[in-house]
Structure 1
Amino acid sequence: MGGTHMNRSLWRKAVALTLTVAMTAGLTACGGGGNSTSADGNKRYFKADYLSDLPDSFNDTTSNIQFKGDVMYYTSSNADYTKSGLYSYNLITGENAQLYEQAQSDGSGNSSWVSGYTVADSGEVYLFVTKNQMDESSVTEDYSDATLDDVLSYMADQWGYSDEDAEKDWNDYYAKDYTDEDGNVNYGRFLLAQNARFIQTSSILKVDTSGNIAFEQDMDLGANAENVSCNGIAVDKEGNLYLALNTWSNNDSGNSVSSDEYFTLVIGEDGSQKGRIPSDGYTSRLVGLADGTVASIGYGDAGCELRPLDVGAMKEQTDKAIEVPSDTVSVLDEKNLLVTEGSSVYKYNLDTKEKEEFFSWMDCNISSSSVSSYGVLSDGRIAAYLQNWNSNGNQTEIALIKEVDASEVADTVNLTLACMWTGSDAEEKVIAFNKSQDKYHITMKSYGDGAEEYEDAVNSFNTAVTSDSNIDLVLFNDYSQAINFASKGLNVDLYGLLDKDTELSRDDFLPNVLTACEYDGKLAILPQTFTLQTVIGKADDVGTTPGWTVSDMKALIASKPEGTQLFWGMDRTSALTALMSLGYNDFINWEDASCNFDSQEFIDVLDFANMFPEEFEYRDDMEDSTVLLSQGKQLLDTYYLSDFEQVQMYRAIFGGPTTFIGYPTSEGNGAMLSLNNIIGISNSCKDVDGAWQFLRTFYLPKKSSDGDSDYTYGFSIRKDDFEKYCQNAMKADSDGGSTWGWGEFEVEIQPATQEDVDQVKDLVYNTTAVSGAVSDDITNIINEEAAAYFSGQKSAEDVAKIIQSRMQVYLSETK
């Protein structure tokens, strides 16, 4: 098909298109004075500008964005998703063109799509196109006379649709795929498609810069390649095309079975297959390097590797593999890649294997989670495609980031927020705050992004937040870190700031959450949201009042037939963990750093845990929890309370009323708060009022324009928001509700009853214990020494004394 010319209407130059750059308020500069630092120790400053007046083809359906030189390439669909195209857009001149168009559906159930593409230095585009063709011979039944009623009946009978929903979804989602250009609907093809076998085929196309198809070549990948996944595509300086493929076949029932055949297919300049390069496992992407060669990126024993491809020998040059920090890379020059780790972009030298921070997305007020792709323009700017999913749908932007002189940077107070990892929730809050004013700038500093081992990240973070005077705010990964921070007197008392605030007061918050966040009478931290962690059981077994002791739990299991489980799969170690989830409060006094693990009460805990098997032996033929709970063979289950829906599922499984009985403890309801996004202000903070101005944004009342659609996991710690959530839970869902399923059980969720709400509110308002208060160090001490008792090497009394001694030393050293 060489030389075929595409429809001239597909080629459109944006002569009248004016390329404008819109500065976003608050995006004065990356960093605000304390951020990216070059190898010579000098600070570097960046600005992020945004493009407006993008082409109409750049819309909510846009995907597969690539940057090549000054040109952005992308695919997008028309409004009804019947056609898709590949477009180019010059970010400097504004020139826009459609290079390729295809029908996504042919009106009879067959479909096609662009699985991948790459752009050569010349601007020519290579596309890997996949088609699904219906094999009519695989179905013997005749559907030629089918009507709309037949289609709707099928959707109701096979998919569980109501009559109304079936017709709506048919019109909204399915009809277009079975409607020809004249508007004729082929209902029989729809029914045929539900029963037919589909044959997948693939082809390669080469399209020049004017939209001409230079060649189109069908691919023959062998008998086992009934299905193909293209994981990467690149072209070298000789015009050879590389395709990182995974092929697999179907079993007799028509289900896909991966053959785990991974390879890179090499296609010559004329479209002929030159050979296959075997891949050692999954290739995440292919990269065209600055010297015109191609390398694969995959994961080996040493981590993420860049492996040069030898087209002559048809092999990966594993002996020349280069370890890289991640597979998110962009080629900067012959010696350097740009590599994304967390919220930062690093310049990674391929020779020295050293990395240097280039700039931070966060310091440009861009959430790293929104960056889908980026590239380097000819003038040195970074072009980034940003994609944000929120209540308003999929919002896309193109940001242009450039390095600027320090004189162009607004004079702001830079505050450092230390964190283990840069999560999207915190990033969004930081970005919103930085954009809202120009007096302060929050910089997030991560100690976990890029760390090879979790323990390394934890140790680095803990050391920094307890010793680095340049840290102003701390986003803790768990509650034990926050307690350790507060026990050293490193926190600012937030009550002093809250009590001076003109828009917030203590009365705005759930009082039990404030109590849980106190240390030594001071408000050490505040979380953004919380959930409850508790234990649920059948009311006939555990009673109707939350809260019980270890003795109560022992009595329950003793009353049941042999073989009855408390929790699914519980062994001695997990039993001890469950017993100690709240038990630490009975044995540790945090205020004076004392403990009493040598007491008879703790010895009883060890004895009870020792009743369970040494190890839980899982078998494939075991019944799952839903069956065991429904038959009384399992009595309890761990419950994470964040809504009013899940309990309805458990009532159906237990076959009657349930109780949030909780973990065993000498006092209280046995529930624990799980705090999310825990933040404190360091007593070394350079501007405490500025830090509070940021922290308070988490808790200000919602404006009416904010709506209720922004999702955050868990309950709000604002009293009015929590009460509103409880009231809304008793209202019928305007969308018709939802259905929960687990195992053989399925429940249509109903509005919560007043009894449901009262039960949860009683639990919430009377819970001050916090999940995660025990550090891994404490848990490890208990488990390490208890193992000697469980194995029969030592008595429970001796083990309790050893734990008491070790724990007292630990508490004294960490206070």
Structure 2
Amino acid sequence: MKSIKRFALCMVLIFVMILPLAACQKKGKQTATIDKNTVYKEEMLNIKFSDDLSVYNSYFSADKVYYFGYKYNQTDGMASSVWGTVNYDGTGMTSNKLDKEGSWIERMAVSEDGDVYLLYSESFEDYSDPDNYIYENSYYLKRCDASGAEKASINLKEKYQAEWTRDIIALSDGNVLLITGDKFIVLDKDLKEVRSKAYDNFDGNFYKIKDGSMVLLAWEEGGNKLYRYDLNKFERGEEIQIPFSMSNFGMRDGCGKYDFILTDSTQVYVYNIGDTEPRALLNYVNSDIVTSGFNTIYLADDNTVYGFYNYYDDDTDGRDVARYGKYTKVAPEDVVDKKVLSLGCLWVDTDIKKRVISFNKTSSEYRIVITDYSQYDTEEDWMAGTKKFNSDVASGQAPDIVIANDPSIIHNYISKGLFADLTDYIKNDPDINFDDIFPNLIKASSYNDKIYEIVPSFTISTVAGKKSVLGDRNSWTMEEFLQFKNSLQPGMSMFADATRENMLYNFLSVNVSDYMDFGKGKCYFDTPEFVSLLEYLKEFPKSEEMYTNEYWENYDYESAESAYRENKVVLQPTSIYDIRELKYLIRGTFGEAVTFIGYPCKEGNGSSINPMASYAISAKSAYKDAAWDFVKYYYSNEYQQKLTWGIPASMAQFDENAKQSTEKPYYMDENNQKVEYDDTYYINGQEIVIEPLSEAEIAGIKEFVKSVDRISSYSEDIQNIITEDAEPFFQGQKTAEEVAKIIQSRANIYINEKQ
């Protein structure tokens, strides 16, 4: 649930309430500080596995680590499921393989006496008879001692008709709780049933709190709720009131020291029922730990924590490496004092943490602390973090460094002087090749010819179509667009599977500057162009009217695949994120040369830049030079060369990527010789060879990229205003001109309220 909310924030963050500035800007900017009570020293345990073992999860006891994962055979490509134990000092490692091929460990639980419960599946497939494919799958539960010796085993499909299982939990009384797809079952050490109860619907997780009893975190409509739970009766007890949003945290058992260990993307917390809030225990960045969170945590005491997490980077050749660490608390008086900068964003990923930690380690004078604003989200308001982010920026309390996934967070405030002018930094820094940055990206990042943000990479939203159909044009106005539409031959359509909602979203987000200017507080919806757009939108059905069960049951996938090649559909909304992928659009989807004509607009090309992320510095920061030393890294050759998604800001790196598009793919054979092969694409079951792009095509694509100089933006509030007020026109009750005036009035009030 948490990841879904964060993903939604990154993709469609909206213009939200901007607090009035006049009173707030009189306050001085608060100085960032570091919580010295959350600093721990990381000491990696000497636990190393072979390169062919991928550790899925681990568990800690007082003296050893229990692990399970999958071991890959490089010769035949097969994998086997293994588990074992290892002491904290790396000695005494054991490894146990499940007996049968096709066996996979799903869950592991460790009892208080050190025994291991393994929940695993065995599958069997038989393809020998094409008309009689056989697949069988069974679940098993096994209890072993730490050395791997089996003590008890049970076939869950035979005993309980279990088609799938959810979890196993080792209980304080020595029993184990098994949750299948339809039943709670308590088993003793010999895996004999103690009691059980069937259930119709179960959405939640059980946790063992420090007194040994169980609680249930239930996922209910309106939010998560916590209940005491009686396993003897399989009944909920009283609800436990928690004075904060539990959905903001990952929850784990408290290792007998606390009721819960809580985690988010930045910290580990501890919490006891009855406390007013969680207490921050360990901060990853303050402790220079490069992770977004521990897979498993063991709390020996407040001063000693053990953690397991997966790590990959250039120094691991891209492999996912299991890391085990011992974390010892640093006395607050021993934490080195540095000047502290704050970095704020709506979601902290591992790459940001790596860069922050690298900066902190190399700077003798400064240290960066991170605020992840998503921590303020609640189940009642999942935009609360976004609103606070905007509020802090608007009131002059913005972090020293702002990282925004939604460009409007920065663009809404540039005209108000809340972000620092980076022009001299970018142009004069010897580590930055200003002339290598896409000039259109610089223009899009500027306001009144001054640069206010760094955009390391971006995608382009546009519309593609065949040159043979569209001609030499590379842009069009709304009038030209409609004239072309009206000239189509019978059986041809402009777009495929389009609905009123997605067409409004596309037209509005790409060409937002045609209709709104937040800097000047003006909007332009009572124009002939917008009236024409409304009239065009009326031709499309609503999503719920189009995407019915009947629609999907009768959907002709083969016809859809070939529609662009056969000129049944003229235009395809396209996101350009990697020039190396465009050959599939050109050679595959359309089968011939294309033009990126974009959406109709007043002037220029109706395509737009979508920043993957934007970096800005607060105008009130006391440490702008230090903040620049951090953000400039994202325009460095080192970072630009690492990018695996999006168009790089560096034209030189773009050219390097483009060069790969002019070559055939290849692999290295057993003699380390390069062997080229053909890229292929399938349409209607027919294999099509995808030839590399020509240098002329690459040059044309680059010129197109350089021509796009507007930033995509989106306001859900504005789209809602249009959708609501245009409905009488779509229903035939008012004219397009009448509803355009109403939309203009409401949008004008809205945009001025945001000033």
| TM bucket normalised to smaller | 0.7 to 0.9
The number of residues matched between the two structures is 696
Deviating more after overlay: 362-371 vs 711-720? 362-371
The yes-or-no answer on 1:219 pairing with 2:156 is yes
Report the AA paired with residue 33 of structure 2. G
Contact 1:298 1:306 in 2 (8 A): yes
Question: Which of 354, 358, 363 in structure 1 is aligned with 2:281?
Answer: 358
Within a 5 Å distance, the mapping from 1:112-511 to structure 2 comes to 112-132=103-123, 197-209=134-146, 211-221=148-158, 224-225=161-162, 227-228=163-164, 230-246=165-181, 262-279=182-199, 281=201, 286-295=206-215, 297=217, 299-306=219-226, 308-315=228-235, 324-325=246-247, 326-333=249-256, 336-352=259-275, 354-369=277-292, 371-378=294-301, 380-390=303-313, 392=317, 393-449=319-375, 451-452=377-378, 453-469=381-397, 471-511=399-439
Q: Is the 8 A contact 1:649 1:740 kept in 2?
A: no
CA shift at 1:523, angstroms? 0.5
Over 3 Å counting, the alpha-carbon distance change for 1:534 and 1:196 in structure 2 is: closer
User: Is the 8 Å Cα contact of residues 45 and 90 (structure 2) preserved in structure 1?
Assistant: no
Counterpart contact for 2:102–2:123, Cα < 8 Å: yes
Deviation at 1:71, TM superposition (A): 2.9
- CA drift at 1:83: 6.1
CA distance in 2, matches of 1:210, 1:607: 74
CA–CA separation in structure 2 for the residues paired with 1:686 and 1:89 = 49
Conserved 8 A contact 1:645-1:749: no
CA drift of 1:324 comes to 3.5
1:674 positional shift: 1.0
Aligned AA (1:373): T
Q: Distance in 2 between matches of 1:674 and 1:597?
A: 23
Equivalent in the alignment of 1:5: none
Render the CA deviation track for 1:646-683: whole Å, top value 9, x for unaligned. Answer: 44345433344322111111222222111111010001
Local SS of the residue matching 2:569: coil
2:96 matched residue in structure 1: 101
SS in 1 for 2:286: helix
- Choose 1 or 2 for highest CA Rg: 1
How far residue 400 of structure 1 moved from its aligned partner, in angstroms, is: 2.4
Within-5 A mapping of 1:589-668: 589=517, 592-613=520-541, 616-618=545-547, 619-620=551-552, 621-624=554-557, 625-643=560-578, 644-649=580-585, 651-668=587-604
Residue of structure 2 equivalent to 1:87: 84
Q: How far off is 1:456 after superposition?
A: 2.1
Q: Structure 1 pair 756/214, CA: closer, same or farther in 2 (3 Å)? A: same
Deviation at 1:358, TM superposition (A): 2.9
* Cα 1:69/1:295, change in 2 over 3 Å: farther
* Structure 1: distance between partners of 2:347 and 2:52: 32
C-alpha distance in 2, partners of 1:201/1:591?
63
Q: Relative to structure 2, which stretch is displaced further, 614-623 or 312-321?
A: 312-321
CA gap of 1:380–1:405, structure 2 versus 1, over 3 A, is: closer
Whether contact under 8 Å (1:329, 1:338) holds in the other structure is yes
User: Does residue 1:775 correspond to 2:707, yes or no?
Assistant: no
Counterpart of 1:686 in structure 2 is: 622
1:480 partner amino acid: S
Write the distance in 1 (CA, Å) between the matches of 2:125 and 2:614.
54
Counterpart secondary structure, 1:457: helix
1:67 matched residue in structure 2: 60
Q: What secondary structure does 2:54 align onto?
A: coil
Q: Is 1:676 the equivalent of 2:675?
A: no
Is the 2:68–2:82 contact (alpha carbons within 8 Å) kept by the matching residues of 1? yes
Determine the C-alpha separation between the residues in 2 that align with 1:327 and 1:591: 40
Correspondence for 2:470: 542
CA RMSD of aligned residues (A): 3.3
Letter paired with 2:530: F
C-alpha distance in structure 2 between counterparts of 1:368 and 1:450, whole Å: 21
Separation in 2 of the partners of 1:594 and 1:475? 27
Whole-Å separation in 2 of the counterparts to 1:707 and 1:479: 20
Offset at 1:380? 3.8
Letter of the structure 1 residue corresponding to residue 654 of structure 2: F
Whether the 8 Å CA contact 2:404–2:615 is kept in 1: the answer is yes
Q: Give 1:47's aligned residue.
A: 40
Alignment equivalent of 2:451, drawn from 518, 523, 530: 523
Out of 715, 736, 740, the position equivalent to 2:647 is 715
Q: CA 1:730/1:527 → structure 2, altered by over 3 Å: closer, same or farther? A: same
Shift of 1:209: 4.5
Partner of 2:47, secondary structure, is: coil
Between 373-382 and 484-493, the greater mean CA deviation after superposition: 373-382
Structure 2 residue runs without a partner (length 5+)? 1-30, 668-676
TM-score (norm 2): 0.83
Q: Which residue of 2 is the match for residue 254 of structure 1?
A: none
Q: What is the CA deviation profile of residues 428-474 of structure 1, one whole-angstrom value per residue up to 9, with x for unaligned ones?
A: 32233223333222222111246133332321211112225362011
1:416, distance to aligned residue in structure 2 (A) = 0.8
Q: Specify the SS of the correspondent of 1:44.
A: helix
Taking a change above 3 Å as real, the CA distance of residues 201 and 575 of structure 1, as seen in their structure-2 partners, is: closer
Cα 1:676–1:210 change in 2 (3 A) is closer
Contact 2:44 2:323 in 1 (8 A): yes
* 1:631 Cα deviation from its structure 2 partner: 4.5
Which among 467, 485, 504 is matched to residue 557 of structure 1?
Answer: 485
Cα deviation for residue 283 of structure 1 reads 5.7
Superposition deviation, residue 305 in structure 1: 4.8
Change (3 A) 1:313 1:686: same
| Structure 1 residues 608 and 102: alpha-carbon distance in aligned structure 2, compared to 1, 3 A threshold | closer
Distance 1:212 1:587 in 2: 72
Partner residue of 1:29? none
**1:170-206 deviations in whole A, cap 9, x for unaligned?**
xxxxxxxxxxxxxxxxxxxxxxxx9763543443332
- Matched letter for residue 398 of structure 1: Y
The 3 A distance-change label for structure 1 pair 685 and 744 is farther
Indicate the SS of the match to 1:364.
coil
SS for the counterpart of 1:629 is coil
Measure how far apart 1:636 and its partner are.
Answer: 1.6
For residue 58 of structure 1, report the CA deviation from its aligned partner: 9.4
In 2, Cα distance between equivalents of 1:197 and 1:223? 22
2:673 — aligned with what?
none
> TM-score, normalised on structure 1?
0.78
SS, match of residue 443 in structure 1:
strand
Matched, 1:756 2:697: yes
Whether 2:708 is the aligned partner of 1:784: answer no
**1:78 & 1:57 partners in 2: Cα distance?**
9
Q: 1:387 to 1:752 in 2, by over 3 A?
A: same
1:34 paired residue number: 33
Unmatched tracts of structure 1, length 5 or more? 1-31, 37-42, 142-157, 159-193, 247-261
What is the one-letter code of the residue matched to 2:114? Answer: G
Distance 1:292 1:286, change over 3 A: same
Tell me which moved more, 801-810 or 492-501.
Answer: 801-810
Aligned residue for 2:747? Answer: 807
Opposite residue 96 of structure 1, the aligned amino acid is G
**C-alpha distance in structure 1 between counterparts of 2:599 and 2:645, whole Å:** 23
Q: CA deviation at 1:488?
A: 1.5
CA distance in 2, matches of 1:655, 1:502: 45
Q: 1:333 deviation in Å?
A: 4.0
Q: 2 CA distance for matches of 1:538 and 1:270?
A: 70
Q: Which has the higher contact order (CA 8 A, sep 6+)?
A: 2
Q: Distance in 1 between matches of 2:204 and 2:565?
A: 44
